[in-house]
Structure 1
Amino acid sequence: MAVKKTAVIVLDCAKPEELAEFHAGLLGGTVGVGDDPDYVEVSDGQGLCLAVHRDYGYAPPSWPRPEDSQQSHLRILVARGDMDEAEREAVGLGARPVDAKDNSGPRDTRTYSDPAGHSFTLAVYAEPTARR
C-alpha cells in the first residue's frame, strides 16, 4: 500500500514573507508562518497550497531571454469574463507583465513575473466540450 502523500510547489526568493503576501493577494489566500521563518505557506482553506522559501543566494530567473528556459511557472485559471480584472489585480499587487496581450478567446493567456521574478500565467478556464 502506498504511503499517503501531498505536494506543494515551493518558490525560492530573498524575502519570503513579502513574496507570500503577493501570492496570497493574487490567489485570495492567507499567509502562514511556522517555526521556520525561512519557509512561509500560502493557503486558501480549499486545497490551494504554495510555499515560499528564503534562499540567501537567490538570483531571479532570467527568462524570457531567448537563451533561457522558463523551467516552471504557475498557471492561474480564471473565467473568461474575469481576465481583465484578474490582470488589474495582479499588476496592482506588483506583478510585471512579460506578455500581456489580449488573445480574446479560449486560449487567452497573459504572462507576468512576480516581485521575485518567477513567471506565472493568467489563463482562461478550459470550457468543457461534449464528446461525440
Structure 2
Amino acid sequence: MNKVLGLLDTLESTVLESKKIPMTDKVIVVETQLIDIIDKIRLVIKSDGDAVENMIDIKKEQQYKEVSYKRVGNSEDELNKAKKIKKGAEEYANYVLTNLQLAVTKMQTNLIKLEKNIESSRKVIDEKNKSINEQTERVEEYNE
C-alpha cells in the first residue's frame, strides 16, 4: 500500500512539475513518463493483490487446520469414551460370568448331595423291602 501511495505522489509531482499552458489549467506531460508510472502502480497493486490473496489462502488453511485438529481432538475424545465404555462392559460381563460360575458350582455341589441322599434313601428302602420280604416269607411259612 505504501508503494502505491509513493507512486501516486510521484505521479502528482510529475503533473505539478510539467509545463503549463498559459491562461489554462492544463499542462503538457511526457506520455512515456505517465505510462511508466501508471504501469508501476498496476504492478504494485497486482502484487499487493496477490499477496493479499496469499494471506487469505494462508489464513483459510490455518483455520482448516485448526478445525481439523479440533475434529481429531474430538475423535480422540470419542475414542477414549468408547474405550472406557468397552472396558466397563467387559468388567461387568466378567462380574456376571464369575457370579454365574459360582451359582453353577453351588448347584453342582447341591446336586451331588442330592444324588447321595437319593442313593442312601434307595439303600434304606431296599433294606426295608428286603426285611419285609423276609418277614413275609416267614409269615407264609408259618401259615403253611
Class of the TM-score when normalised by the shorter of the 2 chains: under 0.3
TM-score where L is the length of structure 1: 0.13
Q: Which of these two proteins has the greater Rg computed from alpha carbons?
A: 2
Higher relative contact order (CA 8 A, sep 6+): 1
More strand by share: 1
